[in-house]
Amino acid sequence: MVIFGVDPGTMATGYGVIKVDSNRVSWIDSGAITPDSAASLWLRLECIYDGLWEKMNQHSPDFVCIEQAFYGKNVHTTLVLGHARGVAMLAAAKSGASVREYTPREIKKTVTGNGNAKKEQVQYMVNMLLSPPHKHMRSDAYDALAVALCDFQCSKQLFALKTTR
Protein backbone atom coordinates (compact mmCIF):
# COMPACT_ATOMS: atom_id res chain seq x y z
CA MET A 1 0.00 0.00 0.00
CA VAL A 2 1.25 3.50 -0.83
CA ILE A 3 0.32 6.53 1.29
CA PHE A 4 0.87 10.05 -0.04
CA GLY A 5 0.97 12.83 2.56
CA VAL A 6 0.39 16.50 1.75
CA ASP A 7 1.24 19.58 3.81
CA PRO A 8 -0.60 22.26 1.80
CA GLY A 9 0.55 25.84 1.41
CA THR A 10 0.52 28.42 -1.36
CA MET A 11 4.20 29.30 -0.97
CA ALA A 12 5.32 25.69 -0.52
CA THR A 13 3.36 22.46 -0.52
CA GLY A 14 5.14 19.50 1.01
CA TYR A 15 4.63 15.95 -0.20
CA GLY A 16 5.76 12.69 1.33
CA VAL A 17 5.28 9.17 0.03
CA ILE A 18 5.62 6.04 2.12
CA LYS A 19 5.12 2.36 1.39
CA VAL A 20 3.41 0.04 3.84
CA ASP A 21 4.22 -3.66 3.71
CA SER A 22 2.41 -5.59 6.44
CA ASN A 23 3.42 -3.73 9.58
CA ARG A 24 6.54 -2.12 8.10
CA VAL A 25 6.76 1.35 6.64
CA SER A 26 9.46 2.75 4.37
CA TRP A 27 10.28 6.06 2.69
CA ILE A 28 9.69 6.33 -1.06
CA ASP A 29 9.82 10.04 -1.94
CA SER A 30 9.44 13.50 -0.41
CA GLY A 31 9.96 17.12 -1.23
CA ALA A 32 8.26 20.46 -1.67
CA ILE A 33 6.54 22.12 -4.58
CA THR A 34 7.51 25.78 -4.46
CA PRO A 35 5.75 28.05 -6.93
CA ASP A 36 7.18 31.45 -7.83
CA SER A 37 6.33 33.63 -4.83
CA ALA A 38 5.83 36.64 -7.11
CA ALA A 39 3.21 34.82 -9.20
CA SER A 40 -0.48 35.47 -8.75
CA LEU A 41 -2.46 33.06 -6.58
CA TRP A 42 -4.06 31.21 -9.49
CA LEU A 43 -0.66 30.53 -11.08
CA ARG A 44 0.74 29.26 -7.77
CA LEU A 45 -2.30 26.98 -7.40
CA GLU A 46 -1.79 25.67 -10.93
CA CYS A 47 1.86 24.92 -10.13
CA ILE A 48 0.85 23.09 -6.93
CA TYR A 49 -1.81 21.06 -8.72
CA ASP A 50 0.53 20.13 -11.59
CA GLY A 51 3.33 19.17 -9.19
CA LEU A 52 1.09 17.03 -6.97
CA TRP A 53 -0.61 15.42 -9.96
CA GLU A 54 2.77 14.50 -11.44
CA LYS A 55 3.98 12.94 -8.16
CA MET A 56 0.67 11.12 -7.56
CA ASN A 57 0.71 9.82 -11.12
CA GLN A 58 4.30 8.63 -10.58
CA HIS A 59 3.58 6.80 -7.30
CA SER A 60 -0.09 5.68 -7.73
CA PRO A 61 -1.03 6.11 -4.04
CA ASP A 62 -3.85 4.15 -2.45
CA PHE A 63 -4.48 6.99 0.00
CA VAL A 64 -3.76 10.69 -0.08
CA CYS A 65 -3.70 12.27 3.36
CA ILE A 66 -3.95 16.02 3.75
CA GLU A 67 -3.35 18.22 6.75
CA GLN A 68 -6.47 20.16 7.67
CA ALA A 69 -6.39 23.93 7.75
CA PHE A 70 -5.16 25.59 10.92
CA TYR A 71 -7.74 28.16 12.02
CA GLY A 72 -5.66 31.02 13.31
CA LYS A 73 -6.53 34.63 13.90
CA ASN A 74 -5.91 35.64 10.27
CA VAL A 75 -9.00 34.67 8.28
CA HIS A 76 -7.37 35.61 4.96
CA THR A 77 -4.47 33.20 5.53
CA THR A 78 -6.90 30.40 6.38
CA LEU A 79 -8.91 31.12 3.24
CA VAL A 80 -5.83 31.10 0.99
CA LEU A 81 -4.65 27.86 2.60
CA GLY A 82 -8.07 26.42 1.75
CA HIS A 83 -7.30 27.00 -1.93
CA ALA A 84 -4.11 24.95 -1.67
CA ARG A 85 -6.00 22.19 0.14
CA GLY A 86 -8.61 22.26 -2.60
CA VAL A 87 -6.14 21.72 -5.44
CA ALA A 88 -4.48 18.95 -3.41
CA MET A 89 -7.86 17.24 -2.98
CA LEU A 90 -8.59 17.65 -6.69
CA ALA A 91 -5.25 16.08 -7.63
CA ALA A 92 -5.98 13.21 -5.23
CA ALA A 93 -9.45 12.68 -6.66
CA LYS A 94 -8.08 12.69 -10.22
CA SER A 95 -5.44 10.13 -9.20
CA GLY A 96 -8.15 7.74 -8.00
CA ALA A 97 -6.86 7.64 -4.42
CA SER A 98 -9.04 7.87 -1.33
CA VAL A 99 -8.61 11.10 0.62
CA ARG A 100 -8.19 11.31 4.37
CA GLU A 101 -7.69 14.42 6.51
CA TYR A 102 -5.95 14.96 9.84
CA THR A 103 -5.62 17.98 12.09
CA PRO A 104 -2.15 19.36 12.82
CA ARG A 105 -2.57 18.41 16.48
CA GLU A 106 -3.59 14.84 15.59
CA ILE A 107 -0.56 14.46 13.30
CA LYS A 108 1.87 15.75 15.93
CA LYS A 109 0.36 13.58 18.67
CA THR A 110 0.49 10.45 16.51
CA VAL A 111 4.06 10.96 15.30
CA THR A 112 5.71 12.44 18.41
CA GLY A 113 3.34 11.60 21.25
CA ASN A 114 2.78 15.32 21.88
CA GLY A 115 0.00 17.28 20.15
CA ASN A 116 1.90 20.52 20.81
CA ALA A 117 5.22 19.30 19.39
CA LYS A 118 7.49 21.79 17.66
CA LYS A 119 8.48 21.39 14.01
CA GLU A 120 11.95 20.20 15.06
CA GLN A 121 10.42 17.37 17.11
CA VAL A 122 8.28 16.26 14.17
CA GLN A 123 11.30 16.36 11.86
CA TYR A 124 13.37 14.35 14.34
CA MET A 125 10.73 11.61 14.63
CA VAL A 126 10.20 11.43 10.86
CA ASN A 127 13.96 10.97 10.43
CA MET A 128 14.02 8.29 13.13
CA LEU A 129 11.07 6.36 11.69
CA LEU A 130 11.80 6.63 7.96
CA SER A 131 15.48 7.56 7.54
CA PRO A 132 15.00 9.58 4.33
CA PRO A 133 18.21 9.37 2.27
CA HIS A 134 18.66 13.14 2.11
CA LYS A 135 17.96 16.19 4.26
CA HIS A 136 15.27 18.62 3.20
CA MET A 137 15.88 22.33 3.48
CA ARG A 138 12.19 23.00 4.08
CA SER A 139 10.10 21.55 6.90
CA ASP A 140 7.14 21.08 4.51
CA ALA A 141 8.49 17.74 3.26
CA TYR A 142 8.90 16.41 6.82
CA ASP A 143 5.42 17.65 7.71
CA ALA A 144 3.99 15.81 4.69
CA LEU A 145 5.80 12.61 5.69
CA ALA A 146 4.35 13.07 9.18
CA VAL A 147 0.85 13.25 7.67
CA ALA A 148 1.49 9.95 5.86
CA LEU A 149 2.87 8.36 9.05
CA CYS A 150 -0.17 9.57 10.96
CA ASP A 151 -2.42 7.81 8.45
CA PHE A 152 -0.37 4.63 8.72
CA GLN A 153 -0.70 4.61 12.52
CA CYS A 154 -4.39 5.55 12.52
CA SER A 155 -5.16 2.91 9.88
CA LYS A 156 -3.42 0.24 11.98
CA GLN A 157 -5.52 1.19 14.98
CA LEU A 158 -8.74 1.22 12.95
CA PHE A 159 -7.92 -2.19 11.46
CA ALA A 160 -7.20 -3.59 14.94
CA LEU A 161 -10.57 -2.33 16.18
CA LYS A 162 -12.43 -3.90 13.26
CA THR A 163 -10.75 -7.29 13.69
CA THR A 164 -11.54 -7.46 17.41
CA ARG A 165 -15.27 -6.96 16.90
Model confidence pLDDT, tens digit, residues 118-135: 999 999 999 999 998 888
Q: Name 29's bridge partners.
A: 17
Name the residues annotated as catalytic.
7, 67, 140
Domain range summary for the chain, segments of one domain joined by +: 2-164
Of 132 and 163, the structure prediction assigns the larger pLDDT to 132
Q: Would the pLDDT of 161 be above 50?
A: no
User: Rounded mean pLDDT of the chain?
Assistant: 91
| Nearest in space to 70 (alpha carbons), one of 9, 111, 16, 139 | 9
CATH architecture for segment(s) 2-164: 2-Layer Sandwich (3.30)
Q: Name 98's bridge partners.
A: 63
